[in-house]
Chains A and B, each alone.
Chain A
Amino acid sequence: MNNNKSFEDAMERLEEIVNLLENGELSLEESLKIFEEGMSLVKFCTTKLEEAEKKVSILIQENDGYVQVPFKDIDQKDE
Chain B
Amino acid sequence: MGSIVYEEAPKIYSVTELTQEIQDLIESKFNIVWIEGEISNFRTPISGHYYMSLKDKYAQIKAVMFRGQNRNLSFIPKDGLKVIAKGRLSVYPPRGEYQLILEYIEPLGIGALALAFEQLKRKLAAQGIFDQSLKKPIPFLPQRVAVITSPTGAAIRDFLKVIRRRFANLEIIIVPVRVQGEEAAKEIINAIELVNSILDVDIIVLTRGGGSIEDLWAFNKEELALAIRKSRIPIVSAVGHEIDVTISDLAADLRAPTPSAAAEILVKEKESLVKHIFELRERLAGSIRNILTQKSLELNRVRKSLRDPKKLIQDKLLRADELGLRCIRAIKVIMEKDEDSFYSLKKEFFMCSPLNKINSIKQKLSFHKKVISNYITQRLRHNYTQIERLKNRLEDLNPLSVLKRGYSITIRLPDKKVLKDAATVKQGDKLKILLAKGSLIGKVLSLEIDNE
A contact residues vs B (CB 8 Å cutoff) = 1, 4, 7-8, 11, 14-15, 17-18, 21-22, 24, 26, 28, 31-32, 35, 38-39, 42, 45-46, 48-60, 66, 68, 71, 73-76, 79
**Pair A17/B284 contact, Cβ less than 8 Å:** yes
Q: Is the interface of A mostly helix, strand, loop or mixed?
A: helix
Report if A24-B294 is in contact (Cβ < 8 Å); known contacts: A18-B283, A35-B288: yes
Task: Report chain A residues within 8 Å CB of B294.
Answer: 24
**Pair B277/A49 contact, Cβ less than 8 Å:** yes
What would be 21 A-B contacts, judged by CB atoms less than 8 Å apart? A4-B139, A7-B140, A11-B276, A18-B280, A21-B284, A21-B288, A24-B290, A24-B294, A31-B291, A39-B281, A42-B280, A42-B281, A45-B277, A46-B277, A49-B141, A50-B169, A51-B143, A54-B170, A59-B194, A71-B174, A75-B157
**Pair A53/B284 contact, Cβ less than 8 Å:** no
Q: A10 CB to closest chain B CB, in angstroms? A: 10
Task: Report chain A residues within 8 Å CB of B194.
Answer: 59, 66
A18: which of B160, B174, B287 is its contact (CB, 8 Å)? Answer: B287
A21: which of B199, B277, B287 is its contact (CB, 8 Å)? Answer: B287
**Pair B274/A28 contact, Cβ less than 8 Å:** no
B80 part of interface (Cβ distance < 8 Å): no
**Pair B141/A4 contact, Cβ less than 8 Å:** yes
Contact residues of B between 238 and 278, Cβ < 8 Å to A: 270, 273-274, 276-277
B441 part of interface (Cβ distance < 8 Å): no
**Pair B173/A57 contact, Cβ less than 8 Å:** yes
Task: Report chain B residues within 8 Å CB of A39.
Answer: 281, 284
A2, B172: Cα distance in complex, Å: 21
A15: which of B139, B172, B274, B280 is its contact (CB, 8 Å)? Answer: B280
B contact residues vs A (CB 8 Å cutoff) = 139-141, 143-144, 146, 151, 156-157, 160-161, 163-164, 168-176, 194, 198-199, 270, 273-274, 276-277, 280-281, 283-284, 287-288, 290-292, 294-295
Q: A46 CB to closest chain B CB, in angstroms? A: 6
Task: Report chain B residues within 8 Å CB of A66.
Answer: 194, 198
**Pair A59/B280 contact, Cβ less than 8 Å:** no
A49: which of B146, B151, B274, B288 is its contact (CB, 8 Å)? Answer: B274
Task: Report chain B residues within 8 Å CB of A49.
Answer: 141, 270, 273-274, 277
A75: which of B146, B161, B274 is its contact (CB, 8 Å)? Answer: B161
A46, B156: Cα distance in complex, Å: 28
A59, B277: Cα distance in complex, Å: 35
Report if A57-B169 is in contact (Cβ < 8 Å); known contacts: A4-B141, A49-B273: no
**Pair B291/A54 contact, Cβ less than 8 Å:** no
